[in-house]
Amino acid sequence: MKPIVMAGPWITELEIKTVEDAMRNGWYENSYGYVEKFQVEFAKYHNRKFAVMTPNCTTAIHLLLTALGIKEGDEVIVPECTWIASAAPITYLKATPVFCDIDPVHWCLDPSSVEKNISPKTKAIIVVDLYGNMPDMNAIVSISEKYNIPLIEDAAEALGSTYYNVKAGKFGVGSVFSFHRTKTLTTGEGGMLLLDDENLYKRCMILRDHGRDGALPLHMRDPKQKEYFSNEVTYKYMPFNVQAAMGYAQFQRVGELIAKKHWIYEEYKKRLNEVDDILLNPEPDFVFNGVWITALVFGKSYNLTKQIAIQKLSKLNLPSRPFFYPLSSLPAYPGLEEKNRKNNPVAYDISSRGINLSCAMNLTIDQVDAICDGIKKILK
Ligand SMILES: Cc1ncc(COP(=O)(O)O)c(C=O)c1O
C-alpha cells in the first residue's frame, strides 16, 4: 500500500490540456478569457449574480469586508473553530473579531452565541460551513436580518454542500470559496467571491485592482476614467488566467469531484459505524454534505485528546490533523483564552477531542481500511 497523505487534488488530462491552452493562447486579447468564463459559470452554478476571482480565499474575505466598510473599532462575529483565514482579514482592517461558540453536532456557529455577542459595534457576521457541514442557516440568516447586520458565508470548505436544496455559497450578502491545493476544486492557490448586489460587486472589482474599474464589464465602467489614473489606494488581488484555466477545467468536473469527497466520507462511515461514542460530520435530511474533510470527534468516554490520538495514529503510519483550535486559544490572538474558554465551552471541548482524517482525492479502499483499522486499534 502506498503511504497515505492528508490531502491532494484529482487532476486529469482535461486540466492539463486547458492549462496548456491558457499558456499557448491566453494572452493578448485573451489575457482574462478563462477568468471570465470561470467567474460566469461559477456564479451561475451557485445562483449568484456576480463572481470575483481572487488569488486565494483570504483575499476574497478581505475584499468583501473592505467593501462593507469594516474599519478600526468595528466588531465582526466569527466562529471560534475555523481556519484562521476566516478571521485574519478582520484583523488586517484593525477591526475586532468576536469569537462565538459552535454547535456540538454540526460544529458551525451556534446562533444563540451569535445573538449574545451582538453589540452596537457589530458590523458583520461571518458564518463558516466547517469541513462542508452546514450551520443552522435559517437561524443565522434571521439574526442577520433582525439586527440588520450583513452576513458573509465562508464556504471555503463547502463546495457542493446544500441546505434545503440551496447551495452553500448562496447565503448572506456575499460568500467566499477557496481553491487551495487541498480543496475539493483546486487551482493550487485561488479563491472566489460571490455576490448579488451590483454596487457591492463594483466596489469589490475596484478594490481588487488598485482603485481602477478596468476589469468591470464595459457598461459598468466610468466612461471618464483615465488610464493609469487610480482614484484611491486599494489592493492588487487580480487572478491569473492560467490559474483560472485550471479552475475552469476542474469546474467542468465539479459533480465528479464532489461525488469523490462524498464517497470517501461514506466509506469512513461504513467502517466506523460499529464504533461507539464517536461523531463524524453530520448529514441531516435537509443537508447534502460536500465533506471537504471527514472529521472525527472522540466521545468523552475515551478520555483521548486530539494530540494523543494523532501521535498514536502516526505510530501506525496514519496521518491525521487536529480539529481547528479555538482561535482565542492561539498566540495569534493573545489574552482571550481565559474568558473565551468560559464563554465558548463547546468549541473548547469539541476541538480538544477532534481530528481530521485524510481527504486526499487519491485515497484508495485499502487506505480507508487501514485508517479505520488504526482508529479502532487506538480506541481499544
Ligand atoms: C474556512 C476557511 N476559510 C478561509 C480559507 C482561506 O482560503 P485560502 O487558503 O484560499 O486563502 C480556508 C482555507 O483553508 C478555510 O478553510
CATH number of the domain enclosing 235 = 3.40.640.10
Distance 83 CA to ligand 1 centre (A): 6
Question: 459559470: which residue's cell?
Answer: 41
Verdict on whether the full-model pTM lies above 0.75? yes
Distance 276 CA to ligand 1 centre (A): 32
Give the integer Cα–Cα distance in Å for 284 and 348: 24
pLDDT tens figures, 99-109: 999 999 999 99
φ and ψ at residue 153, rounded to 5 degrees: -100, 115
**pLDDT attached to residue 252:** 98
Distance linking the first and last C-alpha atoms of the chain: 24
Claim to verify: residue 285 and residue 170 sit in the same structural domain = no
pLDDT tens figures, 241-297: 999 999 999 999 999 999 999 999 999 999 999 999 999 999 999 999 999 999 999
Q: Which segments of the chain does DSSP mark as H helices, in order?
A: 13-25, 33-45, 57-67, 88-92, 111-117, 137-147, 198-208, 241-252, 254-272, 306-315, 337-343, 345-352, 365-378
**Amino acid letter, residue 60:** A
Say yes or no to pLDDT of 1 above 90: no
Claim to verify: residue 281 and residue 212 sit in the same structural domain = no
Say yes or no to pLDDT of 214 above 90: no
3-state SS, residue 111: helix
**pLDDT attached to residue 82:** 98
Claim to verify: residue 66 and residue 195 sit in the same structural domain = yes
**Amino acid letter, residue 231:** N
φ and ψ at residue 287, rounded to 5 degrees: -125, 140
**pLDDT attached to residue 350:** 98
3-state SS, residue 209: strand
Claim to verify: residue 184 and residue 299 sit in the same structural domain = no
* List of long-range contacts for 361-369, beta carbons under 8 Å, 24+ apart: 361/8, 361/9, 361/10, 361/257, 361/260, 361/261, 362/5, 362/8, 362/10, 363/4, 363/264, 364/1, 364/2, 365/267, 366/1, 367/1, 367/2, 367/4, 368/264, 368/267, 368/268, 368/271, 369/271
pLDDT tens figures, 168-198: 999 999 999 999 999 999 999 999 999 999 9
Claim to verify: residue 227 and residue 282 sit in the same structural domain = no
Tell me, what CATH number does 362's domain have? 3.90.1150.10
Q: What average pLDDT does this structure show over 344-365?
A: 98
Confidence of residue 81 (pLDDT cuts 50, 70, 90): very high
pLDDT tens figures, 34-62: 999 999 999 999 999 999 999 999 999 99
Q: Which atom of ligand 1 is nearest to the CA of 59?
A: 11
Average pLDDT of the chain?
97
Distance 156 CA to ligand 1 centre (A): 5
Compute CA distances 303 → 280, 299, 353, whole Å. 17, 8, 8
Indicate whether 7 belongs to any domain: no
Whether the Cβ atoms of residue 194 and residue 171 lie closer than 8 Å to each other = no
Claim to verify: residue 198 and residue 346 sit in the same structural domain = no
Claim to verify: residue 262 and residue 128 sit in the same structural domain = no
Claim to verify: residue 57 and residue 97 sit in the same structural domain = yes
Give the integer Cα–Cα distance in Å for 373 and 17: 39
3-state SS, residue 220: helix
Claim to verify: residue 352 and residue 207 sit in the same structural domain = no
**pLDDT attached to residue 6:** 98
Structural domain that includes position 224: 13-252
Residues with CB under 6 A from ligand 1: 56-58, 82-83, 85-86, 128, 154, 156-157, 178, 180, 191
pLDDT tens figures, 289-321: 999 999 999 999 999 999 999 999 999 999 999
Burial of 256 (0-12, 13-18, 19+ CB in 10 A): exposed
CA-proximal residue: ligand 1, atom 5 (nearest): 85
Say yes or no to pLDDT of 342 above 90: yes
CA-proximal residue: ligand 1, atom 7 (nearest): 57
Indicate whether 5 belongs to any domain: no
Claim to verify: residue 335 and residue 302 sit in the same structural domain = yes
